[in-house]
């Protein structure tokens, strides 16, 4: 088992006394993996995200990042190694142009001015925004703004990137762009650990690990295949199953045998057409 980048142990959190939003959450995310936390609105997943980022500091239990306990004294040090992409594309765009926004994080970590231009160019290129460096945020689409946010995060060379509902406010095209980008990031950098907090189950279909949260508790946790085999139970907590798993189940119900190694939509398509 590779080292755990993020470990959450028996996490409790309440906004008001006597009413717990998180009721003892425990999970760990190994290095280089892609974990998805899913849950419908009000399930506590955003609260969990805030706890991990150190924005909710009054939780009970432990959050270990890179093996170190998250506390008010370690939060700044630990945060420099994690990158966070938030939900609202506008509210995380700090600079007045794309280049300025990518530079913002670099300025904070005191990267020398002479190196900035090159870093900005290379990371803008990674997300396909190199032609938009002088553009102002109001000239960009939501998906483009999120890509800028991702490149700003990547430029900080984090070991862990947290996506806090990063695609929730995007149109389908923007969502696709971000999914493709995340997939590419994983291929290019196998050591990068990703944690996505989302209510979009399609995103979870590609994850290594899926954690389903409902009412402050972990309901299911495991590989997408394991988790999404509980179709009926998931429906009860207002979550549906990714299209691939739903389709596979329907086909199997009708007596079709689908081999184990067919584990994505394109593969299934190939298999059926054969």
Report, in Å, the least distance between residue 58 CB and other proteins.
16
| Residues between 240 and 259 that touch other proteins (CB under 8 A) | none
Per CB under 8 A, 53 contacts other proteins:
yes
20 and 14 Cβ atoms separated by less than 8 Å: yes
- Integer Cα distance of 142 and 148 in angstroms: 10
Query: Which of 26, 57, 74, 108: binder of other proteins (CB under 8 A)?
Result: 108
Query: Which of 106, 124, 192, 197: binder of other proteins (CB under 8 A)?
Result: 106
Of 30-38, 101-109, 188-196, 214-222: span binding other proteins (CB under 8 A): 101-109
Beta bridge partners of 84: 162
Per CB under 8 A, 23 contacts other proteins:
no
Per CB under 8 A, 73 contacts other proteins:
no
Nearer to other proteins, 46 or 214 (CB): 46
Per CB under 8 A, 159 contacts other proteins:
no
Of 38-46, 63-71, 88-96, 227-235: span binding other proteins (CB under 8 A): 88-96
8 and 168 Cβ atoms separated by less than 8 Å: no
Report, in Å, the least distance between residue 1 CB and other proteins.
29
Report, in Å, the least distance between residue 180 CB and other proteins.
23
CB neighbours of residue 118 within 10 Å: 9
Nearer to other proteins, 137 or 143 (CB): 137
166 and 135 Cβ atoms separated by less than 8 Å: no
In whole angstroms, how far apart are CA 112 and each of 104, 109, 116, 122?
Answer: 12, 9, 7, 16
Of 18-26, 79-87, 205-213, 235-243: span binding other proteins (CB under 8 A): 79-87
Beta bridge partners of 15: none
Query: Which of 26, 109, 122, 238: binder of other proteins (CB under 8 A)?
Result: 109
Per CB under 8 A, 138 contacts other proteins:
yes
Tokens in use for 49?
A: 């995200």
Query: Which of 86, 228, 244, 245: binder of other proteins (CB under 8 A)?
Result: 86
Per CB under 8 A, 116 contacts other proteins:
yes
Query: Which of 14, 28, 80, 217: binder of other proteins (CB under 8 A)?
Result: 80
Kindly state the number of chain residues that form the binding site for other proteins, as judged by CB under 8 A: 38
Query: Which of 96, 122, 223, 264: binder of other proteins (CB under 8 A)?
Result: 96
Contacts to other proteins by CB under 8 A: 53, 55, 76, 79-80, 82-84, 86, 88, 90-96, 99-100, 103-113, 116, 120, 136-138, 152-153, 156
């Amino acid at each position: 088992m590779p080292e755990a980048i993020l470990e959450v142990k028996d996490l409790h959190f309440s906004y008001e006394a006597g009413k717990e939003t998180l009721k003892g959450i425990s999970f760990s995310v190994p290095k280089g993996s892609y974990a998805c936390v899913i849950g419908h609105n009000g399930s506590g997943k955003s609260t969990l995200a805030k706890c991990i980022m150190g924005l909710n500091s009054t939780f009970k239990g432990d959050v270990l990042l890179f093996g170190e306990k998250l506390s008010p004294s370690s939060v700044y040090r630990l945060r420099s190694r994690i990158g966070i992409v938030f939900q609202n594309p506008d509210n995380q765009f700090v600079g007045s142009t794309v280049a300025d926004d990518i530079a913002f994080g670099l300025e904070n970590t005191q990267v020398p001015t002479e190196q900035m231009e090159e870093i900005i160019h290379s990371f803008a290129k990674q997300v396909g925004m190199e032609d938009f460096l002088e553009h102002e945020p109001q000239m960009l689409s939501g998906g483009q703004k999120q890509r800028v946010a991702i490149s700003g995060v990547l430029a900080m060379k984090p070991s862990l990137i947290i996506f806090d509902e990063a695609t929730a406010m995007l149109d389908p095209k923007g969502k696709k762009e971000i999914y493709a980008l995340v997939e590419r990031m994983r291929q290019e950098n196998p050591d990068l650990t990703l944690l996505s907090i989302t209510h979009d189950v399609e995103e979870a279909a590609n994850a290594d690990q899926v954690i389903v949260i409902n009412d402050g508790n972990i309901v299911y946790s495991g590989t997408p295949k394991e988790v999404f085999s509980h179709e009926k139970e998931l429906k009860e907590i207002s979550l549906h199953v990714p299209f691939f798993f739903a389709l596979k189940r329907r086909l199997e119900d009708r007596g079709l045998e689908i081999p184990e190694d067919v584990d994505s939509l394109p593969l299934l398509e190939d298999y059926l057409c054969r």
